[in-house]
């Protein structure tokens, strides 16, 4: 195919998924890199003196076509991948890494950037321009612009290796997830499982042309099995399979990949003059240093651990009394926690699910966005999609201005990685007087509809939908001039504030009454159930907090010290978990080799940010609660100072502008029931 026939190389606003062939991506990315290089070369070799506009702003707008192509491609690789796409990813990632290095290691270009940076005090720059200038300068200086040639060459090698290792890591986990199935043919083995879960498993078996029921490691199959299946041996089998992904000493094993990644990251940080990868990363975070992160985690651990240990003893006692269990194991956790929750609060996810039909929850989150931010969502059916399950919406404000295009992709399938995330096919920015509006996507893995029932969500899935939609609002309501400062382009320990704060509405009667309606009768969720949801909100909060902290501690153990002496991934992990351990270790399992957040995603040295942002979100929501959860003035302040501002200013400055003061950590501890 000629380049001129490649749809991705034509000018488009809406990504033309219906016309893209898998084989279009690689030539389009290669051509996109060539065109972006020409744009960069024009900036670097300009005969004009370097100015903010012709160097800094020009750099931020450069490579727009390439950005659009890669945004489409890498989301497809996450949400609808196949062998061709994965092969392409392995081939183009080194090219993109090399291109990125070619920019940051371009001495001529860096001289122009430095010239503007050195003159910054004499320039009449807006606050946003000042931030962009500092970001661009740091982008060069923090990524090797000042290194001698031999170290620049090594940096290139490291970045190429890291890009390929991250892809392979993720491909292995997806392959492991798709490979495993628990095939049940004896109906007695289904004891305890809800009717909807059994029906889904029968549907999966039918799709695979097998008799009986099939359970997989995808969350909508795995979680209800672990929560409800009475057969302890089968729960054990599922739990071990889930925890052993990437840990089988076979072609899908990730142990060497983990060691290679952490050692390369450490070497890279050292090359750039930093003690560890965490020191490099955290310089550009609210936390600033590994020491601050470790203090933060230790402080929370000190408060959460006594509560977690009490909760664990309560769970042990309950399991022994109910079933004579002498030693609780990890595959008992969800099962007995659910049974104990039912006993304490008379609350069962299966009681709640009929009130959380997916379409109603989507309408609910749209209504919350309308009441808070005056947004209107209109489903449209003529937008090209990459899969038939995807829903598309146009978003307008109360003056009928077009705000964003929103894609929603909610069900698991073989080509989609696990978890939930927000991404963009097009970011927001202002250029030549035109405010380019964003195209935002939420991707999740929720329970599928069955022949007899629509998609009914667990309460946890409801909060996940709200969480990702909070990220979505951060993208949709962006209103900044420069692309790299727009929407969720903020410090990673600030990016979870918009997502986590929106989860709070899921617990409020005023919000639940808008959308929690029985899928058959239309009856609004009874207040008695809402009260139970609120009462159960802090159930095992100590144990949940301990679990989150253990992940943050594991992340820092890999990235805040020299990893060169680590030879055994499992042994290192076991030592890191020692201070947060409640359950006996499972020899066959290893979390690090499937810890995609830090080894495939962008959370290395940043997993703590979920808890960090919880401090912000608890404090922010306390402000809403004081004034009413749909208070227009507070919502406008959150929109104007947080959601629309992206990374145009220091996060704490933005937060204080919204809240009037710094966040109070006690709000989180009180909400979690860890202090009175």
Known catalytic residues?
A: 468
Is residue 29 within 8 Å of residue 36, measured between CB atoms? no
Closest CA to 71 of 21, 32, 23: 32
Nearest CA among 223, 228, 231, 202 for reference residue 214: 202
Judging by beta carbons within 10 Å of its beta carbon (0-12, 13-18, 19+), is residue 571 exposed, middle or buried? exposed
How do beta strands 434-436 and 182-184 pair?
unpaired
Q: SS3 for 424-462, per residue?
A: EEECCEEECCEEECCEEEEECCCCCCCCCCCCECCHHHH
Handedness of CA 593, 598, 602, 604 (dihedral sign): negative
**CA gap 179, 211 in Å, rounded:** 18
Contact criterion met (CB below 8 Å) for 220 and 416 = no
- Indicate the pairing of strand 434-436 with strand 429-431: antiparallel
Q: Would you give the distance in Å from CA 546 to the centre of its chain?
A: 20
- Strand (E) or helix (H) holding 555: helix 541-559
Q: Which two structure tokens, joined as six digits, stand for 440?
A: 């935002």
Beta-carbon count within 10 A of 289 CB: 14
Which residue is associated with the tokens 């899908």? 252
Query: What string of H, E and C letters represents the secondary structure of 54-107?
Result: HHHHHHHHCCHHHHHHHHHHHHHHHHCCCHHHHHHHHHHHHHHHHHHHHHHCCH
Q: At what angle do helices 290-323 and 609-627 cross, to 10 degrees?
A: 80
Find all residues with CB under 8 Å of 495, minimum gap 6, and list them: 471, 474, 488, 609, 613
Nearest Cα to 141, choosing from 120, 110, 118?
Answer: 110
β-pairing, 439-443 with 402-409?
parallel
């Amino acid at each position: 195919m000629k380049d001129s026939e490649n749809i991705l190389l034509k000018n488009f606003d809406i990504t033309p998924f219906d016309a893209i062939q898998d084989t279009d991506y690689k030539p389009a990315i290669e051509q996109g890199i060539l065109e972006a290089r020409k744009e960069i070369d024009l900036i670097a070799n300009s005969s004009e003196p370097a100015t903010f506009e012709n160097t800094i702003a020009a750099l931020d707008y450069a490579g727009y076509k390439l950005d659009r192509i890669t945004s489409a491609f890498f989301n497809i690789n996450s949400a609808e991948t196949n062998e061709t796409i994965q092969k392409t990813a392995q081939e183009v990632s080194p090219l993109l890494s090399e291109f990125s290095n070619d920019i940051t290691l371009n001495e001529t270009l860096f001289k122009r950037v430095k010239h503007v940076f050195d003159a910054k005090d004499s320039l009449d720059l807006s606050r946003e321009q000042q931030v962009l200038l500092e970001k661009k300068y740091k982008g060069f200086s923090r990524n090797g612009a000042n290194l001698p040639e031999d170290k620049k060459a090594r940096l290139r090698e490291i970045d190429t290796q890291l890009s390929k290792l991250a892809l392979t890591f993720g491909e292995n986990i997806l392959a492991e997830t798709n490979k495993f199935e628990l095939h049940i043919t004896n109906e007695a083995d289904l004891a305890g499982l809800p009717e909807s879960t059994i029906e889904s498993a029968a549907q999966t078996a039918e799709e695979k042309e097998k008799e009986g029921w099939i359970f997989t490691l995808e969350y909508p199959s795995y979680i209800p099995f672990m929560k409800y299946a009475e057969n302890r041996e089968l729960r054990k089998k599922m739990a071990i399979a889930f925890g052993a992904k990437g840990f089988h000493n076979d072609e899908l094993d990730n142990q060497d990949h983990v060691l290679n990644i952490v050692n390369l990251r450490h070497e890279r940080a050292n090359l750039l003059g930093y003690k560890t990868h965490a020191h490099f990363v955290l310089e550009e975070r609210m936390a600033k240093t590994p020491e601050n992160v470790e203090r933060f985690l230790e402080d929370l651990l000190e408060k959460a651990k006594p509560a977690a240990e009490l909760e664990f003893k309560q769970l042990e006692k309950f399991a022994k009394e109910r079933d004579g269990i002498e030693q609780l194991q990890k595959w008992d956790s969800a099962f007995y926690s659910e049974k104990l929750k039912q006993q304490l609060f008379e609350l069962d996810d299966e009681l709640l699910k009929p009130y959380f039909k997916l379409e109603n929850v989507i309408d609910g989150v749209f209504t919350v966005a309308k009441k808070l931010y005056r947004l209107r969502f209109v489903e449209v059916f003529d937008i090209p999609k990459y899969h038939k399950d995807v829903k598309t919406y146009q978003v307008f404000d109360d003056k009928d201005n077009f705000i964003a295009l929103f894609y929603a992709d909610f069900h698991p399938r073989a080509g989609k990685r696990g978890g939930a995330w927000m991404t963009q096919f097009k970011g927001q920015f202002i250029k030549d007087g035109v405010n380019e509006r964003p195209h935002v996507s939420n991707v999740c893995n929720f329970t599928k509809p069955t022949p007899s029932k629509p998609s009914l969500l667990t309460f946890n899935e409801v909060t996940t939908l709200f969480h990702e939609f909070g990220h979505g609002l951060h993208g949709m309501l962006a209103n900044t001039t420069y692309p790299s400062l727009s929407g969720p382009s903020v410090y990673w320990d600030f990016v979870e504030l918009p997502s986590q704060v929106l989860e709070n509405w899921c617990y409020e009667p005023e919000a639940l009454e808008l959308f929690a309606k029985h899928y058959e009768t239309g009856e609004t969720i009874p207040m008695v159930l809402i009260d139970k949801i609120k009462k159960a909100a802090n159930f095992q909060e100590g144990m949940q907090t301990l679990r989150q902290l253990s992940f943050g501690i594991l992340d820092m153990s890999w990235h805040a010290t020299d990893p060169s002496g680590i030879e055994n991934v499992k042994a290192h992990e076991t030592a890191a978990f020692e201070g947060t351990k409640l359950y006996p270790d499972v020899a066959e399992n290893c979390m690090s080799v499937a810890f995609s957040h830090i080894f495939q995603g962008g959370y290395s040295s940043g997993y703590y940010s979920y808890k960090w942002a919880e401090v912000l979100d608890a404090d922010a929501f306390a402000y809403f609660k004081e004034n009413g959860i749909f208070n227009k003035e507070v919502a406008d302040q959150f929109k104007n100072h947080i959601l629309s501002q992206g990374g145009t200013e220091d996060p704490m400055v933005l937060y204080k502008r919204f809240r009037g003061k710094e966040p109070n950590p006690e709000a989180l501890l009180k909400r979690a029931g860890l202090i009175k």
